[in-house]
Each structure stands twice: as C-alpha cells, then as structure tokens.
Structure 1
Amino acid sequence: MRWGMTVPLSGVPLSGHQAVYQALADAGFTDLWSSEVNGTDAFTPLTLAAAWQPRMRLGTAIAPVFTRGPGLLAMTAAALAEAAPGRFQLGIGSSSPVVVGDWNAVDFTEPYARSRDTLRFLKAALAGETVDHDYGTFALRRFRLERPPATPPQILLAALRPGMLRLAAAEADGVILNWLSPADVQTALTETKAAGEDFEVAARIFVCPTEDADYARAIGRRLITAYLTVPAYAAFHRWLGRTEVLTPMWQAWSAGDRKAALAAIPDSLVDDLIVHGHPDECRAKVESYAAAGIKVPVMALLPTPALESGGFPTLIETLTDLGARG
C-alpha cells in the first residue's frame, strides 16, 4: 500500500528536509506530495526529494491551472519528470479565488473549463507533441517542449463534485480528493466508475496526532471555517449531505461572527474530517480511507503541543509512529 505525507513540514527549513525525507522513507512512507497555497511552491520541495530520495514517489496536490501559463506549467512538470523518471505524478486543479485572484492577480473565471483545457494541453505537450490549438480558455501557437520527458508523468485532477469527478475519470490518469471522511469516499468514487482499473485515487487527509481531543478539535474547527466557507467546498459538502449540520456555521460566518461560527461546528463533524488521537489511532483511521477506496492516502500533518515544544527529535519520532511500519 502507498503511504503519503505532505511536504515540506512546518518548522523545518527546506535545507533541512533531507533528514525528514530519510525519516519518512525509513518509517515506510512511499510518497511525498506537495501543495501550493502561500508557502513553498509545489515543485521545489519535490525537486530536492528527487535528488535526496531516489526511490520515493512524488506528486503535486495541487499545482493550480491559473497561476502559471500553460507552457510554463508543462516545462516545470517536464523538468521534474526528467529529474525523477517514472516517479512523479502531476496533480492539477483550479485552486480558489483567493489564491488565484487575490494573491496572484489572475482572473478566476471558468474553473471547470480552464482545468479541462489545461489537462488536455498537458497530455499533448508532455507527450512531446507540437501544440497549435485554441482550447477555449486559452490558445497556444506551435508550442513544443524542448525536453519532453522520456516517461511522461501521470496527470491527476483535483475534483470535488460530479462534473469534475467525471472529467477526471474520462480524461485524467487519476483524481485527487480533499476534505472528506472515509464514509464519503464511495459517494465521490461513484462518479468515477467509467475510469479504468489503473485510475489513481489520492486524498489529502489532515492528521493531528495528539490525544488532547480539545486541542485537536480547536485546530479542526479553525480549518473547517477556513475551508468549508469557500464556495466550492461549501457546495461539495452540500452535495455530500451536510447542509443541515453546516448551515449554522455558514450563517454565523456570513454575519461576521467568527466566534459563533467556530462554536457551531459539532465535535462529530470535526472527528469525521480531521484525524486525531494517538499515532496508532491516526494510522488506523488513515487505513480506513484506503479500505474505502483511496489508493494513495496523503497525510497533512497538523501541529500538536508535543511537536511545538519537542523540536526536531519529536517530529522524527512522530513521523516514525505514523509510518506504515509504525
């Protein structure tokens, strides 16, 4: 079974991640996946990992389709695929209006169409084809990679609702899921039944390895208000059937009452969406995602009191405990 961790880890500079990557490999982690919001870019941590850990698989979850031009995104993906032949998977997605518009000064328009068009372009470009085509959301004139990778990376599409899930099944090599419980997995995967047997299914899973449930739930509530108030995630959870449980939080948030929004989130919802507890309990919960159909569970490590006070030795111990060999 593949076992992933989101990198880089907070509190450790990129230059210090060689030891982190070694500890993850020793613990039985098979995959390193990056994200791209307002920390590091998606590719630099994986480029370091390509050199430092020549056996681990690498993936982006996700590289936004708006914030790089299509050609630059293809060049960046091709370079990492060349650095880690056969080990890199390119995860792309629309991201959000805040990341795209507020932070990168790009119009966040037609996210479904832009994702579809970027997916189609990347498949052609990374295969070494010359692209001269008007896709609708952008047009390219005679673009061809100077260094197409000998092994083109699989392309995975981040998807939440039926339209994007079906697009991933029809045209991508896999799908990346986020912000769902093990019980939600089959609801999402029902929309990908048209995909072949080799279709990849990755999911980012927030993990807070502490037995202090109040602390973990406080962290979880802050994350839920940060994410599930975003329109795309709100619509996703309405589709999953959580309208009733989330409406009080949405109403308080819309009214500007952040304290009431946090208080409106029940413990049961936090426990569904945020993995917490002793590392053994966390590992078992992540395994339940795999049992539900996730082929690549990817942990996103959240802070804990022990991690914040214990420094690097505690971090390495925690990674070891969370690993597939834990």
Structure 2
Amino acid sequence: MTIPLGGVPLADHAAVFAALSDAGFTDLWSSEVNGADAFTPLTLAAAWQPRARLGTAITPVFTRGPGLLAMTAASLAEAAPGRFQLGIGASSPVVVGDWNAADFARPYARSRDMLRFLRAALAGETVDRSFETFEIRRFRLERPPAVPPRILLAALRPAMLRLAAAEADGVILNWLAATDVPRVLAEAKSEDPDFDVVARIFVCPTADAAYARTIGRRLIAAYLTVPAYLEFHRWLGREPELAPMWKAWAAGDRKTALAAIPDEVVDELVVHGAPEECRAKVARYAEAGVQVPVMALLPTPELEKQGPTALATLIAALGPA
C-alpha cells in the first residue's frame, strides 16, 4: 500500500499500519510530490511495524543533493535494516523546476549518475569523481548502513527501462495497465534473479463507476499530459485514444480535455469496483510479471461519508489476508 493514507494525520498512522498488517499487506511504499516527503512516513512505519518491508516510489534525483540523499537513505536503512528499498526517479519539470527551483535537465543522465553515486556511497565507499551531471569531492558516509538498501529506478520508456535492468536492483513502473506490463518488461530484462518489478496501481474501491471515472479522469489529465508520461503512452500505442485530450490540454481547454478521455482508458489505468473486484484486477498485474503491486488508494464516496470506520473496513476488504 502507498502511505500515508489521505485524510489520516501522520501521528495517527500507527493504527493504519496495524490494520494494513492485519489485512495481509507486507509492503509500505511512499511517494513524494507535494504531500508528505518520502521518508518521514517510512520512518514511522519502521518503528511501528518492525516486520513491514518499506520503499520509496519515488524520491526525485533532482530535489536533494547527492550527499543528502545518501544520508537520508542510509538513516532509514539503519532504522529498518534489510527492510528498506530506495526507489529513485527523474520526477517531472513541475515538481523539480516549478516547486523546488531546480533545473530539470538531462533526466536520464542525472538518474544514471545518481544511481551510480548512491551505489558507491551506500556501500561505504569514498566517492571522489566527476559524473556527467555533477561532481563529488571525497564524500563518505559517516554512518554507512550495515545492510545497504537495494536501489530501484523508476522507468517508463526503453532507454530508462534498460538502464534499470543493467544497473539497478529493480524497476518501478507507474501509470500502466496490466496488459502493458509484458511490453514494458521486454525492455527491462535483467540477469539478476532477484531483480524487483514494482508497480504503483491507482485503486478506487467503489461500485460507483461514475465517481471512480471522474476521479480517474482528473488524475489522467494531470499526469498523462506531462511530457514523459505523454510519450510513454504514445509508445504504448494510446495516441488514438488520448490525442484529443492532449490537443485540448495544450490549447488550455481543461474541460474539453477531461471530457475527451474515454471510459475505456480510465478503466484500463485506474482499478475500480467493489473491493473484491479490485483485488482481482490488481492480481492481473502480478500475473503479468509485477512482483510488488503497490496499491495507491483513491477517495471513494464511502470514505468521504463514513471516515475512519469505512477506512478500516476497506483495508480489511482489500487485503490478501
């Protein structure tokens, strides 16, 4: 499950983590956009759920300096030895540039260089070298973790997928249908038998299909108009279905862009239905080759009306236990 869950303060997440564990969820993964940072929820989870596997999906490679990112990852790896995986990725021009005042330049090269730096730094090595996108002078972690975290790379299109397969310990996928997984993994063939395939899957567990599609359209319009995701879905073959949305969005017509997204695309990319239906649809990702399907829970009418009681019931219904 993606944490933290919306509408629940971080200080109250001990009960949420316990409910997730009781329901059979083994992994707690964080994201980092403009809500909670990636590491604070996982730090709480490390203390409150000492058996849970933890991961970031993702922390951007531009918004922290290399040394700071290494220190932050090392600290969490020390707090949860053997249970933490560091997922990194390029993020987007909005997150990096508009919100964090950094240059979103050469995302492939920056991701590759950060991956190589982190591999060495988290192993306790002294790093003193010029990378293509930054230069490091005699950096060494004062507290290198006894168990270095596995490093996963977020990837969409072939070049980044191949980089993940060649140099990372796993790949993190996002915004794809279960039917897209084989094509994506054909580009991410790793010789590592322990190579992890993680996918974030947006889940709106409600029988109110109109509500779920409204939420889904908003998310699709917000994400799939970002250049990297736009090109990803063009590569996956969705240009005929999404071109009207892209055209309206580029013209500044948000209302027409939302209306142009077909129901079929929403249903492919956003899991919705009763909880048992959602579980079955998420299982299709696993059947297609995803080893760690990570649900990202979206609002539902029931959660909005009933609050914490409905959340506890929903977690129990969604879990594999």
Which TM-score band (shorter chain)? over 0.9
Q: Kindly report the root-mean-square deviation, in angstroms, between the aligned alpha carbons of the 2 structures.
A: 0.5
State the number of aligned residues.
Answer: 321
Which of 92, 98, 101 in structure 1 is aligned with 2:88?
92
Letter in 1 for 2:211: Y
Alignment of 1:226 with 2:222, yes or no, is yes
How far did residue 195 of structure 1 move? 3.4
Counterpart amino acid of 1:255? A
Q: Distance in 1 between matches of 2:304 and 2:193?
A: 42
Question: Deviation string for 1:101-123 (max 9, x for gaps)?
Answer: 00000000000000000000000
Correspondence for 2:207 among 204, 208, 211: 211
Equivalent in the alignment of 2:130: 134
**Corresponding residue for residue 174 of structure 2:** 178
- Secondary structure at the aligned position of 2:307 is classed as helix
The answer to whether structure 1 residue 74 and structure 2 residue 66 are counterparts is no
Decide which of 16, 24, 27 is 1:28's aligned counterpart. Answer: 24
1:246 equivalenced with 2:245 (yes/no): no
Please give the per-residue CA displacement for 1:241-300, whole angstroms capped at 9, x wherever unaligned.
Answer: 111111011111111111111111111000000000000000000011000000000000
CA distance in 2, matches of 1:255, 1:93: 29
Alignment correspondent of 1:8? 4
Q: Deviations over 1:31-84 (max 9, x none)?
A: 000000000100000000000000000000001000000000000000000000
CA distance in 2, matches of 1:30, 1:157: 21
Instruction: Write the deviation string for residues 135-166 of structure 1: whole angstroms up to 9, x where unpaired.
Output: 11001100000000000000000000000000
Please give the residue correspondences for 1:115-130 in structure 2 after superposition, counting only pairs within 5 Å. 115-130=111-126
Amino acid at match of 2:100: N
For 1:211 and 1:62, locate their aligned partners in 2 and report how far apart those are by CA, in whole Å: 30
Task: Measure the CA separation in 2 of the matches of 1:111 and 1:214.
Answer: 37
Note the C-alpha offset of 1:194: 3.5
Q: Trace 1:270-285 onto structure 2 (pairs within 5 A).
A: 270-285=266-281
1:196 correspondence with 2:192: yes
Structure 1 segments of 4+ aligned residues over 2 angstroms from their partners: none
Counterpart of 1:289, as a letter, is: Y
For the residues of structure 2 that align with 1:49 and 1:179, how far apart are their CA atoms? 25
DSSP 3-state at the match of 1:294: coil
Query: Could you tell me how far apart the structure 2 residues matched to 1:139 and 1:277 are?
Result: 50
Q: Superposed, which structure 2 residues align to 1:252-291 within 5 Å?
A: 252-291=248-287
Deviates more, 1:253-262 or 1:155-164: 253-262
- Residue 152 of structure 2 corresponds to residue 156 of structure 1: yes
Q: Which amino acid aligns with 1:91?
A: G
Structure 2 CA distance, aligned partners of 1:292 and 1:182? 7
Query: What one-letter code is carried by the residue in structure 1 that aligns with 2:175?
Result: W
Please give the secondary structure, in 2, of the residue aligned with 1:236.
helix
* TM-score, normalised relative to structure 2: 0.99
What does residue range 295-310 of structure 1 map to in structure 2 within 5 Å?
A: 295-310=291-306
